[in-house]
Structure 1
């Protein structure tokens, strides 16, 4: 396991290393100002290594050995020009390059980031630490604890002063990725709750409440209860709070889908569709991580995390197709697909946030639809919002943090009819799967919010970005935590 540390400048960074990564756009590395910020003892070697390198469209790696072979020096060169959807931080390209560098195996490593702006630090640092996962159950190799020290510099300005919120976000991103990587029999709803409480234990100002099992029905949370009622570990809603009604600014509620394993229910997934479903709690992990990042950085506003936890199992008590659930909103939902379960959790969560907690702004996060990957791909989450200002802010925050998002249509006039039921207020799945599935899934959640023109809501579908190459990424922690700072 690699521990992350921070250095104040490049020369401090390189003391007694066995691995050094230089991450830089081509033009910065080639500039006199950029060269001036390279570690003095390796500056000439780095410049020689860069000669003739062409990053192409994706970036490229080149390496050499220094100090009589004791130091492995890797140069990750990024292209100067990227499309507007990749963004100026180049976080996605950096992540892929760093992953190929073998940085996860370091004993004492360092990473120097040459940045165009100080604000690019978080996106590039997140790209680096995502290549160093915390969870590993492999046997047959020594378990050595390594360290990786990060330093960012801006040519012409000098080292970047790392904000407290950035440090907290980096740690919380790794913690969220670890949860996504854990086996589902270890991280069932009860296990997730234990992990969350351990992560938040001792953090000043944090208050916790948990509603479990049949207590959910007493709180009218029929969606969460229905999805998880037949599993060995009881479903639950874990509520973590910072601040109070006396806090200044908006009350922001983050709602996370935490299906700790998704069999599909009685509409059982096929063999090829069930593997990897431990990651179906990626939204809950992102919300927990974002809340931990905010609390750890001393956030002074009011924020609440609602973590909706259930295992979508099969058994005698499982929800059946044609069953009708009564939701927290009071609406009745006819089940026509037990594998469209995550929206039932989120519908209860956002309704509770709006009606019970009186939130001003609600952002839910979920690995909700496979269609998200078709619509926006592996690198961008899909967002749907009832508010253009909130949508724009999330897009900009995505560019700044490297957690990229792309908007999908919010159009109740086009999508609400997909859920028409003859016996209940609505069904839980669409009648036409070719009609904007990801937008429709978000529409289902929105239908359970009260009619309130002032309530701002956004949905983040992070199905693909949360779990890449069979590994959790912690996607959503930088996006959500930094968004809350801007909204509060």
Structure 2
């Protein structure tokens, strides 16, 4: 059974029944005048651990037995005092690391985070949730721990956890669960069903699903082609939320939901197919963000567009040399069936801007392996046609701990990479050394560049699935960004 997370209102409530307690704080907080919030023997041990534990650059964990019944074990996660300007001020990644490294056991436990700045609450709580994933298929596993979380200010007073912070943590864990679930269990039909279950629980949300050959009737030939030979047909799931008060902007969240990517007829080489269950990370992120925003009464009109397919191999598979006319009306000559995600997103962003009338379109995808070369495993790459929107998402990422870094938006430099003799474009670049991730983003934007919509693309291939485990990256990023839009 997975670890369950909830929030304790007070220290006594957290300590009651807890066999282990983890305290997480920056080194300078622990070496200062620490408030006495634990029983005296445990408080003395905490001070001793704080003296002996050095955080290094990314945090460290130590622990000891207390000789008390509650808590029997005391653990300390020490965070570095500062990070670089490209890090989150909350040092969310260090929080995740120390929580993941702490052995909380299989019974009731508590996590106390001491925050000198209440603005760090969202990033810290989300990092705690990310460190304790939901999915496990290990045999003989006992029931998971029941973990309560409590945030304290430097004076030892509880910091209230707003509903949007709590729902972001839970939605992030669910997004990671979707990424971790084996692909035969989470095929396109099942992924859509799980999404519908989450969405139907939220008031003021309307759903529509376009499945199989019906995609062609709507001009969604990219999604159809990629998924048409899989056992479960491809689909587009659309959810729309209308705020009770009206007003706000019209914003769409579009996600690439490839439930498994063999590469299609451009079959991935040995070893490269492993972990491709994670190719739905973008769709998992936008689904989670939409749920957080709609459930917490977002002021904007929101649309969710999940482009879902399995890129399988079979007699009906789409082929190199095929030409597809996508929703935008533009034609694409296929030169690589493993560059499939951009076909889904091209249909998705075009549908969002044209059919749904979105003023602002975000798309999220595990789109390119080159993203990891460009910005690494902890920063997603973003590309936007609007500088203000780009700056908004960068600031939101630093605030919530889902870090991003911009890549160039330069259509005049990148369109040439997609030249075709017989169609408007090919789907994969000629020169893989020419800003490959930015080029892939440009392909997507090309299918909505004649609309007036603002656009931001998030390539989260690294952060969504950095070490063979889903993280739910993007849920906090997108929900925080949308909240910041006036």
Q: 1:66 & 1:374 partners in 2: Cα distance?
A: 46
TM-score (norm 2): 0.96
Shift of 1:48: 1.5
Q: CA deviation at 1:19?
A: 1.5
Question: Which residue number corresponds to residue 78 of structure 1?
Answer: 79
Q: In the aligned structure 1, how far is the partner of 2:349 from the partner of 2:47?
A: 53
DSSP 3-state at the match of 1:96: helix
Q: Contact 1:37 / 1:155 at 8 angstroms: preserved in 2?
A: no
Counterpart in 2 of 1:160? 159
Partner Cα distance (2:198, 2:15) in 1: 31
Q: What does residue 355 of structure 1 align with?
A: 354
The equivalent residue for 1:3 is 4
Separation (CA, whole Å) in 1 of partners of 2:434 and 2:106: 48
Alignment TM-score, normalising by the size of structure 1: 0.96
Correspondences of 1:84-163 after superposition (within 5 Å): 84-103=85-104, 105-142=105-142, 144-156=143-155, 158-163=157-162
3-state DSSP class of the match of 1:51?
Answer: helix
Distance in 1 separating the partners of 2:281 and 2:360: 21
Deviations 1:17-44 (A, max 9, x none): 0111111101112222xx1163344322
Structure 1 match to 2:456: 458
CA distance in 2, matches of 1:90, 1:376: 18
Alignment of 1:178-257 (within 5 A): 178-243=177-242, 247-257=246-256
1:291: which partner in 2? 290
- Greater Cα offset, 56-65 or 320-329: 56-65
Give the drift of 1:395: 0.7
Cα deviation 1:435-485 (Å, max 9, x = unaligned) = 010000000001000424x52110000001111321111111111111111
Q: CA RMSD in A?
A: 1.6
Match in the other structure for 1:479: 477
* CA–CA distance in structure 1, aligned partners of residues 257 and 290 of structure 2: 15
2:201 and 2:393 map into 1 onto residues whose CA distance is: 30
Aligned-pair distance for 1:246? 7.8
2:443 and 2:65 mapped to 1: Cα distance?
56
- Check whether the contact 1:46–1:75 (CA below 8 A) recurs between aligned residues: yes
User: 1:347-392 CA distances to partner (integer Å, 9 max, x unpaired)?
Assistant: 0000000001110111100000000111111111010111111111
Instruction: Return the alpha-carbon distance in structure 2 between the equivalents of residues 356 and 283 of structure 1.
Output: 21
Deviations, residues 198-222 of structure 1 (Å, cap 9, x unaligned) = 2223221121100011110110011
Counterpart-to-counterpart distance in 1, 2:425 and 2:444? 12
User: Are 1:383 and 1:406, in contact at CA under 8 Å, matched by a contact in 2?
Assistant: yes
Q: Which residue of 2 aligns with 1:63?
A: 63
SS in 2 for 1:216: helix
- Give the 3 Å change call, closer, same or farther, for CA 145–300 of structure 1 in structure 2: same
Report the alpha carbon displacement of residue 68 of structure 1 after superposing the two structures with TM.
4.2
Structure 2 gap ranges (5+): none
SS in 2 for 1:13: helix
**CA–CA separation in structure 1 for the residues paired with 2:127 and 2:73:** 20
Q: CA deviation at 1:299?
A: 2.5
Following superposition, the deviation at residue 53 of structure 1 comes to 2.4
CA contact (8 A) 1:397 1:483 kept: yes
Give me the whole-angstrom Cα distance separating, in 1, the residues matched to 2:245 and 2:162: 26
Once the two structures are superposed, residues 208-243 of structure 1 have per-residue CA deviations (whole angstroms, 9 ceiling, x without a partner) of 100011110110011111111111110000011110
Count of residues in Structure 1 that have an aligned counterpart in Structure 2:
483
3-state SS, counterpart of residue 315 of structure 2: coil
- Cα deviation for residue 157 of structure 1 reads 7.9
Deviates more, 1:201-210 or 1:242-251: 242-251
Q: Distance in 1 between matches of 2:399 and 2:330?
A: 38
Report what 1:469 is aligned to.
467
In 2, distance between residues paired with 1:11 and 1:118? 22
Instruction: Write the mapping of 1:12-91 to structure 2, written as runs, cut at 5 A.
Output: 12-32=13-33, 35-36=34-35, 38-41=37-40, 42-68=42-68, 71-91=72-92
Instruction: Give distance in 2, aligned partners of 1:277 and 1:411.
Output: 30
CA contact (8 A) 2:36 2:156 kept: no
CA contact (8 A) 2:243 2:298 kept: no
TM superposition outliers: structure 1 runs of 4+ over 3 Å? 9-12, 67-70
Of stretches 130-139 and 433-442 in structure 1, the one that deviates more from structure 2 is 130-139
Q: Partners of 1:169 and 1:187 in 2: how far apart?
A: 22
Aligned to 2:375: 376
CA contact 1:7–1:149 (8 Å) conserved in 2:
yes
Alpha-carbon distance in 1 for matches of 2:37, 2:54: 20
- Give the Cα separation in 2 of the matches to 1:487 and 1:229: 37
Single out whichever of 50-59 and 150-159 deviates more from structure 2.
150-159
Pairwise CA distance, 1:427: 0.5
